[in-house]
């Protein structure tokens, strides 16, 4: 390719890159705007001073258990991603993968308008080992899809308990959903077909740990007669976090609106939701350590 053709090629790509960056920025602004708009509406009903005041009554052992369970869910998440990488032929050491995972958490939580945690992980791995970007992207995508399927699976199982009269419909939906997920892998990502059960088990473990984490944080603020509605609402908010910033605002609004349906104290549930966000932010902040120092990524994959 001569210089003129190269210049024209670069010029043709630039507007597209600018368009992608603009689209990402606008999407991020909408998510942040939605999150804090909903949070503002919640705080008009329940003053922030009341919500944070509940934190002064924390049952410390329950809080620490909740925080530990959240940390365990993130470590298991790193292990799940490692299995998808290995299936694609990328054998990253677990220590390196864990460091990279927390760095991604930091980017997702504290730099929402930036490159994004998943994209930054792909960038670093490609830059360090020259690994194929497309394969890395497919690994990360399927890691996320596996988590979403687990969220829906646990949610449906909770619905079986809450609405036993509709068990035939609910059970059918679960079976059909799991079969469709298997077909999806077989049709579009056959390389990950053998990870169907392993990936799903990882994901079910991760989501169960996060639900348990939230419930322990909830109990640290006050007891409840039933925890299944809280668990189901937490899972729904996790799914809806795709259209918000880290689930902030949507989770609090869900608990506020559902409090009259399930007859629970909205102040405690919303306060627990904010506490979960604080715990998430704390562990995401760990990633700044790996940002400030040079990552020493190690791989067992031949270069």
Mind listing the pLDDT tens digit for each residue in 230-260? 999 999 999 988 888 778 899 999 999 999 8
185 pLDDT tier (thresholds 50, 70, 90): very high
Q: Is residue 1 part of a domain?
A: no
**How far apart are alpha carbons 219 and 269 in whole angstroms?**
10
Q: How is residue 92 annotated by DSSP?
A: B
The tokens of 255 are what? Answer: 């608990």
Q: Is residue 13 part of a domain?
A: no
Q: What is the pLDDT of residue 8?
A: 43
Question: Is the pTM for the entire model greater than 0.75?
Answer: yes
The residues near 239 (Cβ < 8 Å, ≥ 6 apart) are 148, 151, 152, 155
By residue range, what is the domain housing residue 171? 21-292
Mind listing the pLDDT tens digit for each residue in 26-65? 777 888 888 889 999 999 999 999 999 999 999 999 999 9
pLDDT over 70, % of the chain: 89
Name the residue with higher pLDDT: 297 or 122.
Answer: 122
Q: What is the pLDDT of residue 114?
A: 55
Q: What is the pLDDT of residue 11?
A: 40
Split into its structural domains, the chain has a count of 1
**How far apart are alpha carbons 152 and 181 in whole angstroms?**
11
């Amino acid at each position: 390719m001569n210089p003129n053709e190269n210049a024209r090629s670069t010029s043709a790509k630039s507007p597209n890159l600018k368009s992608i960056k603009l689209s990402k920025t606008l999407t991020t602004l909408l998510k942040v705007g939605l999150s804090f708009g909903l949070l503002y509406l919640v705080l008009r009903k329940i003053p922030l001073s009341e919500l944070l005041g509940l934190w002064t009554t924390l049952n410390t052992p329950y809080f620490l258990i909740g925080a530990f369970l959240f940390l365990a869910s993130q470590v298991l998440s790193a292990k799940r991603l490692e299995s998808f990488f290995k299936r694609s032929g990328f054998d990253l050491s677990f220590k390196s993968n864990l460091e990279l995972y927390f760095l991604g958490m930091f980017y997702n939580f504290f730099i929402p308008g930036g490159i994004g945690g998943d994209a930054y992980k792909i960038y670093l791995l490609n830059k360090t080992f020259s690994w194929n970007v497309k394969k890395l992207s497919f690994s990360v995508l399927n890691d996320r899809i596996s988590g979403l399927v687990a969220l829906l699976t646990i949610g449906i199982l909770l619905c079986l308990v809450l609405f036993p009269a509709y068990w035939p419909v609910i059970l059918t939906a679960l079976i059909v959903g799991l079969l469709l997920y298997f077909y999806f892998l077989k049709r579009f990502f056959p390389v990950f077909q053998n990870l169907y059960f392993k990936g799903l088990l990882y994901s079910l473990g991760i989501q169960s740990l996060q639900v348990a984490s939230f419930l322990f944080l909830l109990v640290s603020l006050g007891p409840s007669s039933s925890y299944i509605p809280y668990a189901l609402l937490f899972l729904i908010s996790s799914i809806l976090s795709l259209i918000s910033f880290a689930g902030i605002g949507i989770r609090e609004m869900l608990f506020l609106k559902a409090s009259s349906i399930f007859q629970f104290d909205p102040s405690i549930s919303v306060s627990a939701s904010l506490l979960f966000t604080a715990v998430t932010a704390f562990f995401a902040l760990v990633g700044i350590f790996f940002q400030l120092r040079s990552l020493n990524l190690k791989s067992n994959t031949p270069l």
